[in-house]
Amino acid sequence: MERTRYLIVGAGVSGLAFADWLQDDDYLVAEADYEIGGYCRTVERDGFVWDYSGHFFHFRIPEIERYLVDRMSAQRVLRLERDSRIWYAERFIDFPFQRNIHQLPEAEFQECVRGLHERPDEQRGSFKDMLYARYGRGIAEKFLIPYNEKLYSINLARLDADAMGRFFPHASAEEILGKTDAPKSESYNATFTYPERGAIQYIDALAKGVRSDQIALNERVVGIDLDEKVATTTKRKIGYDALISSAPLVALLDLCGVGWDPNVFSHNKVQVFNLGFDSKGPPDVHWIYYPQRELSFYRVGFYDNIFGSDRMSLYVEVGLPSDAELSEDTRGAMKARVLADLQTCGVLTNQTLVASHDVLLDPAYVHITMKSNAEAAAKKKLLAAHDVHSIGRYGSWTYCSIEDNIVEARGLADMLRSRS
């Protein structure tokens, strides 16, 4: 039987960042898919460049960004001031809604202001309670609740108040009411970066530090014997000293024969349609949020306005419950509905669709609750006691960016190296 010191499951950002940082050649990366990248992948078709879903980057640690960019040969990385908007009452409101209610029709603005003055006291409760307590009925019910329910495909009363962590654009009541001396909240993504050939460039940068002959593509891990420290793949058995997995935590628990509670670990899925047209659509805007329950998508992004190109190039995201059936027929019907909805909201006028691609992200957003956080920590600890380390957005059952994935993977590599 083959043996390796570090068996890495998954060649997404997390697995590659771990292998790259390890400084030990005794590793093997097993990747179920036919190429590296996980969710951070790019497709190029008929001159259009699309990610698996809109991936834009906001590095908080300059050294990590420099580390990646320095390895990106001739690729240009675009740096843009975010132009993100909300389609509401047949007009655009700047994002985030709660900081821009003065752009609403007067009566609705007054409703939001009244809601702010009459909001309930904040107590530790659900995400939905938090929205009412911080923003009042008007803001919560006009945008924050319908939009996030479309995204998460769940009643927000089931999510923890802090389910989105630093990714939620909070604002104080003073700031919302336009008090000039109110401190301005910082947005985590007021500017963002994007490589000219798509998100995969960051993956390729990481992969430069990983030996390609030690990445086994099309090789899925199908079982893990915790006691024997042996993984079974679709091709062989591999003994390991430590196993590092970026597969979804629940899938890893299944592989290890450890039970878990589906009421605690739930998630949505997101169907992404990448659509290329023959001519330009709305100018300037990078992405638009749609809270309307009657529209199929919750967000639409415009690659052409990021690249400065002259043919409309969209990603369209549709949030779905995890048990939604998605046959080829239903996906086709959903795409037709997306195109009709794009017309309804004025994105699509006289352009013709000339190229498309679609992908299902499953899981996409995990449902974070106090219980899921506690259970994920407990299960990770149990696995770690057997030298199985679960990392990554889905391995840690969390909401995070690729930068967070890199930080976590490097931290684990440092820890394991110092132990050996």
Under rule CB under 6 A, residue 289 binds ligand FAD: no
- Residue 183 tokens, joined: 């401190």
Under rule CB under 6 A, residue 393 binds ligand FAD: yes
Among the residue ranges 38-46, 89-97, 281-289, 376-384, the one whose residues contact ligand FAD (CB under 6 A): 38-46
Under rule CB under 6 A, residue 416 binds ligand FAD: no
Residue 34 or 325: which CB sits closer to ligand FAD?
34
Under rule CB under 6 A, residue 33 binds ligand FAD: yes
CB-based contact 115:140 (threshold 8 Å)? yes
Under rule CB under 6 A, residue 14 binds ligand FAD: yes
Identified binder of ligand FAD from the candidate list 27, 142, 401, 412, rule CB under 6 A:
401
- The Cα 119–Cα 199 span in angstroms is 41
Residue 48 or 202: which CB sits closer to ligand FAD?
202
DSSP output for 18-56: HHHH---S-EEEE-SSSSS-TTS-EEEETTEEEESS---
- The Cα 337–Cα 323 span in angstroms is 20
Sign of the dihedral defined by the CA atoms of residues 397, 403, 406, 408, in that order: negative
Under rule CB under 6 A, residue 30 binds ligand FAD: yes
Nearest distance from C-beta of residue 199 to ligand FAD, angstroms? 8
Residues 94, 100, 106: CA angle, nearest 5 degrees: 115
Nearest distance from C-beta of residue 400 to ligand FAD, angstroms? 5
- The Cα 420–Cα 417 span in angstroms is 5
Identified binder of ligand FAD from the candidate list 40, 131, 205, 359, rule CB under 6 A:
40
H helices present in 96-227, as ranges = 106-117, 127-139, 145-152, 173-176, 200-207
- The Cα 213–Cα 208 span in angstroms is 12
- Show the binding pattern over residues 345-384: x = contacts ligand FAD (CB under 6 A), - = does not: ----------------x--x--------------------
Identified binder of ligand FAD from the candidate list 20, 38, 229, 296, rule CB under 6 A:
38
Identified binder of ligand FAD from the candidate list 405, 406, 412, 413, rule CB under 6 A:
405
Residue 112 or 238: which CB sits closer to ligand FAD?
238
- Residue 226 tokens, joined: 């915790």
- The Cα 256–Cα 231 span in angstroms is 9
Under rule CB under 6 A, residue 31 binds ligand FAD: yes
| Residue ranges that bind ligand FAD, judged by CB under 6 A | 9-15, 30-33, 38-40, 53, 55-57, 220-221, 246-247, 251, 270, 361, 364, 392-394, 400-402, 405
